[in-house]
């Protein structure tokens, strides 16, 4: 029997796109699924849409509503409530292709991995595919922008970082959004949950934690549709100048220094030493 996959859908005032996301759940060719919906006290028709969906399907749908505690807390809540052996995120404004879970599980099991991600097509507010523009040029293909060529399937490990541009992957997510991933509960037990104190890069910070212990499989096929629009969290954070890059650079320094190219690693060590020396001098009041 196939393993149970929990489709985790964190929601908040998602009525505009939610129906399309839920219809993509109905279309899945992989049938051993449940849906976990965690709602941050929506004030629109989100819960009505969710309850209607629950009454229309023959697989388990669990709906939870609670007071908002932040984006990371909502993601984590769905994981904590999941009964499946595997977690598949689906955000309220994104869409799965009909064979998304089936194909992702195929690669996951056949390559003996705990996590795989897929590439995604980009759609706009009207569900039309985006194939050009500045944002698409920079973020349309996260792996290609990082210098990773994925032909059918590619497995990235921490050792791959040596071949990549540090200044790119220290600032940019080279793995993907949570919606492009599927991972095991075994991985969650090892790595823990998402960092609830972060707003912008909590997914990339999590993938880097994963890379410390596990390889991540990347599927070339675009099995997800990622919606780019003005009201998505990443766009709002950008407009509000939310910058958490230092979290990534500190993490890379602490966990991946031996896997970064020698020239960059040496530069980082000199920077860190200079900063620590300056702090020590100030602390002991001997800085001129």
Choice among 101-110, 113-122, 141-150, 257-266 with the minimum mean pLDDT? 257-266
Whether the predicted pLDDT of 237 surpasses 50: no
Hey, is 213 helix, strand or coil?
helix
Least Cα distance to 104 among 181, 175, 157 occurs for: 181
pLDDT grade, residue 240 (50/70/90)?
very low
pLDDT at 287 over 90: no
The overall longest dimension of the chain from CA atoms, in Å, is 73
pLDDT at 113 over 90: yes
Tokens 């994104």, residue located: 94
pLDDT in tens, 156-199: 999 999 899 988 998 999 999 999 999 999 999 999 999 999 98
pLDDT band with cut points at 50, 70 and 90 for residue 39: very high
Strands of the chain (E only): list them.
5-11, 33-39, 61-65, 86-89, 95-96, 115-123, 129-130, 153-156, 181-184, 216-227
Task: Kindly indicate the confidence band of residue 239, based on its pLDDT and cuts at 50, 70 and 90.
Answer: very low
Instruction: Between 282 and 43, name the one with better pLDDT.
Output: 43
User: What sign does the dihedral 186-187-191-194 (CA atoms) show?
Assistant: negative
For the segment 101-117, the average pLDDT, to the nearest whole number, is 98
* Whether pTM exceeds 0.85: yes
Six-digit token pair at 282? 């100030």
Q: What is the mean pLDDT of residues 226-252?
A: 69
Task: Report helix, strand or coil for 269.
Answer: helix
How far apart CA 133 and CA 116 sit, in angstroms, is 28
């Amino acid at each position: 029997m196939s393993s149970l996959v929990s489709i985790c859908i964190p929601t908040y005032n998602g009525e505009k796109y939610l129906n399309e996301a839920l219809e993509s759940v109905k279309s899945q060719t992989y049938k051993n699924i449940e849906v976990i919906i965690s709602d941050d006290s929506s004030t629109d028709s989100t819960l009505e849409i969710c309850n209607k969906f629950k009454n229309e399907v023959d697989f388990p749908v669990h709906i939870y509503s609670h007071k908002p505690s932040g984006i990371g807390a909502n993601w984590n809540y769905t994981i904590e409530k999941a009964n499946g052996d595997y977690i598949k995120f689906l955000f309220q404004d994104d869409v799965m292709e009909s064979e998304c879970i089936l194909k992702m599980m195929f690669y996951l099991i056949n390559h003996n991995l705990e996590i795989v991600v897929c590439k995604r097509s980009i759609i706009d507010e009207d569900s039309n595919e985006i194939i050009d523009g500045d944002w698409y040029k920079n973020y349309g293909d996260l792996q290609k922008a990082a210098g990773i060529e994925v032909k059918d399937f590619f497995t990235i490990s921490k050792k791959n970082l040596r071949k990549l541009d540090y200044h790119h992957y220290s600032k940019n997510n080279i793995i993907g959004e949570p919606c492009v991933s599927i991972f095991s509960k075994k991985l969650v037990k090892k790595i823990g949950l998402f960092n609830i104190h972060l707003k912008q890069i909590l997914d990339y910070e999590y993938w880097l934690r994963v890379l410390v212990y596990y390889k991540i499989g990347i599927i070339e096929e675009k099995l997800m549709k990622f919606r780019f629009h003005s009201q998505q969290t990443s766009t709002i954070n950008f407009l509000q100048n939310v910058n958490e890059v230092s979290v990534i650079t500190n993490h890379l320094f602490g966990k991946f220094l031996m896997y970064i190219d020698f020239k960059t690693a040496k530069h980082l060590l000199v920077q860190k030493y200079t900063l620590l020396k300056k702090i020590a001098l100030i602390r002991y009041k001997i800085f001129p």
